[in-house]
Structure 1
Amino acid sequence: MSKKKDIIVLGGGAAGLSVAAGGAAMGLDVTLIAPQPMGGDCLHHGCVPSKSILHASHMDQDWSDAKLHAADVVASIQHHDSQERFEGLGVQVINGKGWIEGRGKVRDSLGQLHDGRYVVLATGSRPRTHSMLSPLAAPKVLTTDDLWSQDLHGQVVILGGGAIALEMSEAFAGLGLRVTILARSEILAGYPPKLQELLRQVLRQQQVTLREHASLVSVDDQGAQLRLNLADGSQLHAHHVLQALGREHDLNDLGLEELGIGKEVSQNLRVGGCPWLYAAGDAAGQPYLTHAASHDAGVVLRNIVAPWPVAQRRKNLPRSIYMSSEITAIGNVQWPAPEGCAWLENSSNSDRALTEGRDAYAGLMLEKKSKRLQGAVLFFPGSSNMAPFLDEHMLKASPYTELAKPSYPYPSDGELVRGIVMAYQASTKLHEGNKRVLRLLARLPRLF
């Protein structure tokens, strides 16, 4: 058995690398057990290739050109996540997988047993798939795990109505493919209806066919194409089907069952109630976001070194969908609003959107009694850049009126947020009283 380490990390994606780098920076002895190449889903299958493909789709390129661009971007980032860099940070890196054999005991793929004070599971997640499509393989049936190496042509059907479906429909359409989205419910289900309607308009402009409330009942492999049979009796033909049905984390095959350790993850990211075992990133469950991984790494490391427990705050993390007009959500965006809360919306007061001939939208959910911001949704280019501002506002539990205080450059879509606040203020009875006081003050004689 090797020397006892402070932390043993299983997994080399965003969460595992963040824990390893952060632990090493704090002076802790860290062992990272991860398959090669390091970087995980975000670098190789998710955020980086998808955003690279999206960019290429706006540059008058075809699918082959877009794939090359994505590969170049991944290669340029790979060094940052490489074994050489992490060994330079002082992390012991072991290629392969790891299995837990006892408290702090992990065996690697080569059979070597490692001993650590803490073990962090950062083993990621996998794409959800449709049972009807399981007998079929790439290139006809795809997930983001195998999409980027395939040659696509003709008709692509995307199963799902969430972030991946929206981003990839825009990318595929921009690269000259014919695209149909099959959504089991509404597009971006659970979001405000005004935003959903704007998305439908955008998809029509991109010549993407949207089928909502559509259920797949069977699939026929016809050689060159697949025939998709839907519950309403209609049929679709596709050269490729992309399953964009979300993701699911997996804590199986890590040795937990054999040790009688449960798989529930607590608010302080402990697994199965074990004080020495943590989960981070996708392995800790939803939301499956790369920046959730770095957030979790901070929570885990603080729990390891601090004498008091630190809880995660994942539910308020911002989420963005990187279409041409980005969709950014933070906090609770449930529609309709829960009891005691109300949605305030603005889709008409952005001069910037008018100058560019497009739509824009902002929605704020306020708690009626306290007037505190509970959630927000923005829909305009670059809206993700406003996420830190809204996040800080919610962390401080500031009054909603604080959202109107910053100087928003003119013309900018951020003025939508100010417009909501000003309109809501003008509609309140209290504001009438304020106006009377202000009129009185303005009419008083000045002494200086």
Structure 2
Amino acid sequence: MKFTHDVIVIGGGAAGLTAAGGCALFGLNVALIEARKMGGECLNDGCVPSKALLAAAKRAAEANETTRYGITLQPPKVEWTGVHKHIHDAIAAIAPHDSEERFEEMGCEVFRDWAQVTGPQSVDVGWRTLTAPRIVIATGSKAAVPPIEGIDSVPYLTNENLFDLDVLPDHLVIVGGGVIGMEMAQAFRRLGSAVTVVEPDELMGRDDPESVAVVREVLEGEGVRFVKGLAQKVEGKDGAIRVTVGEEQIDGSHLLIATGRKANCEGFGLEEIGVKMGRGGIETDDRRRTSVKGIYAIGDCRDGPRLTHVSGYEGSNVALEITLGLPTKVDYSALPWVTYTDPEVAQIGMTEKEARAKHGDKVTVVKETFHDNERSLAEAKDKGHLKLVLKGKKVLGASIVGTNAGELLLPFAQSITGKSSTFALGSAIIAYPTRSEISKAAAFQAWEPTVFSTVPKKWAGFLAGMRRRFS
């Protein structure tokens, strides 16, 4: 069969761009298909706009604390038009990295249209039929909207239209207490909105409960209200929304649905050609191969973790497999994620709960607080802690809550994967004063019982006695 391309990539988000760019840089003839905006969710309505919003909210929060460190500031004046401009300026600044022009320069042939997979090696796009021995599906995810009574008859926000708001909500009611819900709750509260979060289960349920408790306390102190329960009914119109939770009715101006994401894998003809689907998206093996030979699925569209850095990682893996023939299985033993509240919540590897479920009483936990970290004390930002989850001296996971907690994950990624050790980290020279000293302190604490055990103490005593006798 004569092919039009070496590989066809469907989706111009983090996963698809990484795979397409990698294959093109190795000299392959790549077709990259994207019908919506280049850059996908992360650039346009996910990571970038949300972090820009959080930055604006943090500036307002700092000014709201009018006197600190002996310095007095004026209370902030929040202008939503300026915040909106900042958000979209951030998107525009990063957009060239993901642009059609950049990937054409790399050697991709970019198609801005809808794709229909018509066979294991063929894709219809617009008026053309493209063929290739390898097809990569990277169609991402979309907001998951729960079946709440009345949801189809009221205006509501998701991350896909939240950042296009032309007014600051008077009272934002958020259904969902996960990462998106908690970040947006703090951001809008700091900018002046009243905020109520409705969540039937535990807040940020995949994170360590002790870390989440710290963040909840901070958000409640800032005025965010939490209601535990299931949103059963919504009603209202623009500017006047009512959410029923049990016996309580919550009245707000805007409703944000933040109950997670679901795979965007329908309408591409995949099931018709035999690609198997699971509950969470396209089924794949550890090499991200689907049930149809020659077709891969990477990023949010497949069943698995949905994070931008995971999408990039899988895109790189598939690019290496297609270009060099290297089988590249995914390894999520050191998977990190961060919730960018203030303080941040950072997790890598297993939580304490997960580790105890798998390894029982073989698990030990070492905990260091930022109250003992001298950089944190000097800045009066000492709220939070680091928990190191261990099996023996091996790191299984780390949970951190505190200022810039996400920046402290790297050494634990090395430890979990065996590229470093707690002993190496505990004996490292760390610049003073830095927050990263907490990592060294936790690692040293793991070794402290061994270093100062009976045998080393006896040896130290023996040497001291010998010196006294012969000096």
Partners of 2:256 and 2:94 in 1: CA distance? 26
Q: Which string of whole-angstrom CA distances, capped at 9 and with x for unpartnered residues, describes residues 23-75 of structure 1? A: 11111110001124311000000000000111111233333221110111111
* Pair 367,241 (structure 1): closer, same or farther in 2 beyond 3 Å: same
Per-residue deviation, 1:335: 2.2
Matched, 1:183 2:199: yes
User: Would you say 1:389 and 2:411 are equivalent positions?
Assistant: yes
- Please say which of residues 330-339 and 71-80 is displaced more in the overlay: 330-339
The residue number in structure 1 matching 2:27 is 27
Task: State the superposition RMSD in angstroms.
Answer: 2.3
Q: Which residue of 1 aligns with 2:345?
A: 327
Shift, 1:334, TM fit: 4.7
In structure 2, the residue matched to 1:341 is: 363
CA-to-aligned-CA distance 1:149-186 (integer Å, 9 cap, x gap): 12232101112222112211121012111111122222
Distance change >3 Å, CA 207–CA 2, structure 1 → 2:
farther
- Asked if the contact 2:153–2:235 (Cα under 8 Å) also holds between the matched residues in 1, the reply is no
> Aligned letter for 2:85?
L
Contact 2:320 2:328 in 1 (8 A): yes
Of 262, 266, 271, the match for 2:290:
271
Q: CA deviation at 1:427?
A: 4.2
1:362 counterpart (381, 386, 389): 386
Mapping for residues 139-178 of structure 1, pairs under 5 Å:
141-150=156-165, 151-178=167-194
- Alpha-carbon distance between aligned partners in 2 of 1:442 and 1:265, rounded to the nearest angstrom: 62
Task: Give, in whole Å, the separation in 2 of the partners of 1:298 and 1:146.
Answer: 30
Unpaired segments ≥5 residues, structure 2: 61-77, 278-282
Give the alignment's TM-score, normalised by structure 2: 0.87
> Cα deviations across residues 329-379 of structure 1 (Å, max 9, x unaligned)?
1111152632232332222422333333330210111114xx211111111
Is there any run of 5+ residues in structure 1 with no aligned partner, and where?
A: none
Give the aligned residue type for 1:5. Answer: H
Higher mean Cα deviation, 78-87 or 315-324? 315-324
Q: How do 1:426-437 and structure 2 match up within 5 A?
A: 426-427=448-449, 431-437=453-459
Aligned counterpart, 2:49: 49
Higher alpha-carbon deviation: 69-78 or 411-420: 411-420
For residues 24 and 323 of structure 1, what CA distance do their matches in structure 2 show?
Answer: 37
**What's the TM-score once normalised by structure 1's chain length?**
0.91
Aligned residue pairs total: 440
1:47-126 residue pairs with structure 2 within 5 A? Answer: 47-60=47-60, 61-108=78-125, 110-126=126-142
Residue in structure 2 matched with residue 412 of structure 1 by the alignment: 434
Cα distance in 1 between the residues matched to 2:332 and 2:154: 35
**Amino acid across the alignment from 2:204:** L
Q: Distance in 2 between matches of 1:377 and 1:360?
A: 10
Equivalent in the alignment of 1:293:
311
Corresponding residue for 2:443?
421
- Secondary structure of residue in 2 paired with 1:310: coil
Contact 2:288–2:298 (CA<8 Å) still a contact in 1? yes
Alpha-carbon distance between aligned partners in 1 of 2:102 and 2:409, rounded to the nearest angstrom: 30
Instruction: Indicate the residue corresponding to 2:74 in structure 1.
Output: none
The amino acid that maps onto 2:46 is G
1:307 deviates by: 4.1
Q: Given that residues 8 and 31 in structure 2 are in contact (C-alpha distance below 8 angstroms), is that contact kept between their aligned partners in structure 1?
A: yes
Counting aligned pairs with the same residue, the percent is: 29
Q: Structure 2 vs 1, CA of residues 257 and 424 (structure 1 numbering), >3 Å: closer, same or farther? A: closer
AA of the residue aligned to 2:57: S
1:254 aligned counterpart, secondary structure: coil
CA shift at 1:423, angstroms? 3.2
